[in-house]
Amino acid sequence: MLENLTDEERKALTRAVINILDRWGMDNSDQVRILALPEGTPARRINRYRDMGEALPDNPATMERIEQLLGIADALRTMFPHNPQMGLHWLRKRNKHLRRRTPAECMVEDGMSGLIRVRTHLDCTYAWDMSGSHA
């Protein structure tokens, strides 16, 4: 889905993803972790993506996480179509299916597996696709 993007498309995608993470209340250091930016990337680097219009690195780990984040954002919009604040509330509420952690904590602490866990919890069609049960 995110392959072969032009530089302008990658910059627009970066703005969208950083905006989502900002809306979710993720600080810069959480964003570095969630996006799997290279080891040693300082948290302040997020400001360059946010304020200077730079594109996130075009590496497979970051692109895969972006795809998951976009899926989570879409699932939250679908789940709470009339009140976007409920999606923010859901991300900050402890969840028994996530070992009594919040979805936000799960995404930051568990990386890719946390993103997938949150997305499958929100999006039954994604969980169905992941299970392979429909084949």
Asked if residue 55 lies in contact with residue 45, where contact means CB atoms within 8 angstroms, the answer is no
Q: How far apart are CA 15 and CA 1, in angstroms?
A: 17
The mean pLDDT value of the chain amounts to 92
**Neighbour-count burial for 9-45, b at 16+ CB within 10 Å, e otherwise:** ebbebbbebbebbeebebebebbbbbbbbeeebeeeb
Structure tokens at 126: 């994604």
Residues 94-110 have pLDDT tens digits of 999 999 999 999 999 99
pLDDT of 25 strictly over 60: yes
- What is the C-alpha R_g of the chain? 15
Which residue's structure tokens are 């300082």?
Answer: 42
Q: Is the pTM of this model over 0.95?
A: no
pLDDT of 1 strictly over 70: no
- Give the 3-state secondary structure of residue 101: strand
